Each structure stands twice: as C-alpha cells, then as structure tokens.
Amino acid sequence: MPSKKESRPDAVTAALRFLASRPRSVAEVRERLGSRGFEAKDVDNAVNSLIQAGYLDDGRFAERLCGSRVRYKNWGPVKIACELKGKGVSEEIIHRALGAIGAAVEARTAGTALRKWAKKNGVSLPVDRKDRKAVERAFRFLKGRGFSNAMIFKALDVEESPEHDGAEG
C-alpha cells in the first residue's frame, strides 16, 4: 500500500488561505509566506499572481481599513496612518486613503469618540472650559485616538490657546 506523501501547499494556496480570514497588505502576505519557508522567487510569483487576479491591492486594503477604523473604532488619521505603516503600506497609498476620509467625516468621528469617552467617564459635554483637568483628559484621549490638535479643539469647542499648542498625549 502506498504511503501518503505529505503535500505542502504552494505559495499561492498558502497566501489565499491567509487572505481568507481578512484582507491583508502585500507586505503582510510577503512576510507570512517568507516565514512559512517559501523561497523568495515563489513568494514574488505568488504575490504577483494575486495582485494580477485582484486579490491583493494595497490601495483598496488601505481604503477599507481607514473606513473600518473610522466607523467602528473612531480613530483619527494619525493612528490609522501608523497602523497602515506598520502593515507595510506605502506613504503615497496611506496619504490617498486618508484623503478620502475628508474633514467632515474626521470631525464627526472626533465628536463621536469624545461623546463616548465623556459618557464612560461621567463628563458632561461640552466640557467646561474652566475644568482644566477634564479638558486635558479629553484632549489626551482624542490625541491618543489620532486626531490633530485643531480637530481636537474643534471637537472640544475650545479655542486654541498658546498653553495648548504643544500638548501631546
């Protein structure tokens, strides 16, 4: 009786299995295939095949991730850009994807994040300008979510002042 020979999937099959759970960037797929022991030429061939077939597209991946992070996590552009950069997406593609969000959506997202934070922390909105501690906490929260100082002040409805210009969180 012939013995079963262990068959190892080819690089394209392995990549498709990796992509089955969720979209990935080209760099993530390359890294995964490399860590699975595939040779560089096999990785390149698999990635090129998947790009040509439309299964891999960093532009589409970045746009979807941006939309998801804005809609479900209320993240700002800075935090989204950091995540995309960590996934190996190019600066040009990141810039294009973030540009599609728009200032109105960013402002709405910052407002939503602030309302959720305020409810969770028992802070009434708008944050009382005299309550410096609450303003600073809200500022740090929104900064950590990836919003610019200008967007944070807009969400807080606080005029930007010299003492807050360099605030980091």
Q: Are 43 and 33 in contact (CB under 8 A)?
A: yes
Residue with tokens 């605030």: 167
Note the pLDDT of residue 151: 95
Host domain of residue 16: 11-56
Going through the chain in order, the beta strands assigned E by DSSP cover: none
If asked whether residues 126 and 159 sit together in one domain, one would say yes
What averages of pLDDT result for each successive group of 10 residues across the chain (169 residues)? Answer: 56 95 96 96 96 96 96 96 98 95 92 95 87 93 96 79 46
Q: Both 47 and 75 in a single domain?
A: no
- 94 and 146 share one domain: no
Residue 89 burial (10 A CB sphere; 0-12, 13-18, 19+) = buried
User: Does 6 fall in a domain?
Assistant: no
Preceding amide of 162 cis, omega within 30: no
Residue 5 included in any domain: no
Where helices occur in the chain by DSSP H, the ranges are 11-21, 26-35, 40-53, 58-73, 77-86, 91-99, 103-121, 132-144, 149-156
What pTM does this model have?
A: 0.83
Tokens 């061939």 appear where? Answer: 45
